Amino acid sequence: MTSAGNGSGTRELEGKRALVTGGSRGIGAAIVRQLMGAGAQVLTTAKTTKYTPPEGADFVMADVRTPAGVAALAETALDRLGGVDILVHNVGGARPHTDGLAIPEEEWQDALNLNLLASVRLNALLAPGMRERRTGAIVHISTAALGPSPQFLHYGPAKAALENYSRGLATTLAPFGVRVNTVSPGRTTTPGGVATRELWAQVAEASGATATTPLGRDGQPDDVANAVLFLVSDRAAWVTGSNLVVDGGEYPRA
């Protein structure tokens, strides 16, 4: 496994400008470190200043649940970076519910805003610049899209819609040299600790995923970040519209 912060060791992203949403901890922070290690200039976000972004990354507080919040983030990214060559949508989340039928309407809308529409809105503002330059890479992180969970009846469908949207956007932007892909992580060890492991166990039971992965361990943030690094690099120059599943063989394949 590539160590955190070292990227590919080739500085293959030298001169590239990257925006990573939700990059202050866990998988997002690992993505930021990998991109910086490969030479990219990185701006990352969180909705609060509670978490510290990786050293060397530029940071802006942003709430992408609203059109205004997304617009402000896009403006800041263009101002600080001068343009965006790499866009990684990592932000996401939802509150679990024991009764999926009792999820309030506002939480359904919040899940759609955060896990789907934030990406749609940000792409609409930043992808045109990539299209004009005829180069760029967009990656959507789509956790829980592969297996529905009753505890996250609002979250999984939003991420599944994101994966479908990602494939459609890939076709739209391919003639302009802009690549769009999805990464679907499985059970990954993050700062959530025990609570996160218990939550993944519930999701696995409900979705038919294995209790332990065939590869014998949970994922680490860098396992996912390595996949993102590959997809935004020239090594993936002929890869678009794909969903790279990074789960240790966890989810059953159709």
Closest residue by Cα to residue 181 from 136, 140, 151: 140
Report the 3 state secondary structure along the chain. CCCCCCCCCCCCCCCCEEEEECCCCHHHHHHHHHHHHCCCEEEEEECCCCCCCCCCCEEEECCCCCHHHHHHHHHHHHHHHCCCCEEEECCCCCCCCCCHHHCCHHHHHHHHHHHHHHHHHHHHHHHHHHHHHCCEEEEEECCCCCCCCHHHCCHHHHHHHHHHHHHHHHHHHHHHCEEEEEEEECCECCCCHHHHHHHHHHHHHHHCCCCCCCCCCCECHHHHHHHHHHHHCHHHCCCCCCEEEECCCCCCCC
Residue written as tokens 């120059």?
237
Query: Catalytic annotation on 51?
Result: no
Residue 246 CB neighbours (<10 A): 19
Closest residue by Cα to residue 188 from 133, 230, 245, 237: 245
Positions annotated as catalytic residues are 155
